[in-house]
Amino acid sequence: MPRSKKIKLYFISGLGANEKAFQYLHFGEEVDPIFIPWLIPTKGETYLEYCHRMAKGIDASEDFILLGYSFGGLLVQSINAFMPAKKVIVLGSLKPEDQKSLFLKFNSWLKLYQVIPQSWLQRKELFCFIVFGKLKDPRMDQVMEYFTMNHPYYLKWSIDKILHWKAEKKQNVIQILADKDFIFPLKNAHPEYVIANATHLFPVTKALQVSKILQSIFKDL
């Protein structure tokens, strides 16, 4: 029986990214998409407190879906722990049972992000490395249109939370990964869906394929 009312889809983008990272995705007629923008953490705010603040706009009186990309994928899983969603979907992100990549482990051990100047975190080269795995790429000027939340404190705080993220428990999460994502590598996970010949930017570069997967998921609600 078709759903008489669209279910709300709350979605959160990647580290420092805005809703343009989703602009080529088509979610279908079953959902009502609502973007949750990043907030700047307050001094001394814990990760859980931040998650609660990010979730204030979610109407939990009715069924809803959570969708997160990259860091947003970690956040929606944390929100789901205290505000359960009908379905949780993560794009290019970890699940609790996944093994973190050597890149994340290395940075977690060295804690270089704690000593480098905050202004360095705003450099284009950093975002280029996250997206493409290299410091320069001709596509980067266009990609920078997605990364508008570049407040230095937010970036350093967020990197710390990514490196030390642990979900409270294993959740029923649908995971979509790219086969060439070095931040969240395929070999460390068992995703439900794999996007072939794609990097961490696959919601943009493989939007048609991702859209078809999402639409099939939403039709089964």
Q: Which fold has domain 7-219?
A: Rossmann fold (3.40.50)
pLDDT tens column, 169-182: 667 899 999 999 88
* pLDDT mean across residues, the chain: 85
pLDDT of residue 107: 56
Question: Which letter, b or e, does each residue of 128-142 get, where b requires 16 or more Cβ atoms within 10 Å of its Cβ?
Answer: bbbbbeeeebeebee
pLDDT above 90 (res 196) = yes
pLDDT of residue 117: 61
Give the whole-angstrom CA distance, residue 176 versus residue 27.
15
pLDDT above 80 (res 198) = yes
pLDDT tens column, 35-92: 999 999 999 999 999 999 999 999 999 999 999 999 999 999 999 999 999 999 999 9
Domain boundaries, the chain: 7-219
pLDDT of residue 98: 64
pLDDT above 60 (res 16) = yes
pLDDT tens column, 148-167: 888 888 988 988 898 888 76
Q: Which two tokens stand for residue 136?
A: 């320069």
Of 124, 100, 126, nearest to 113 by C-alpha is 126
pLDDT of residue 71: 95
pLDDT above 50 (res 109) = no
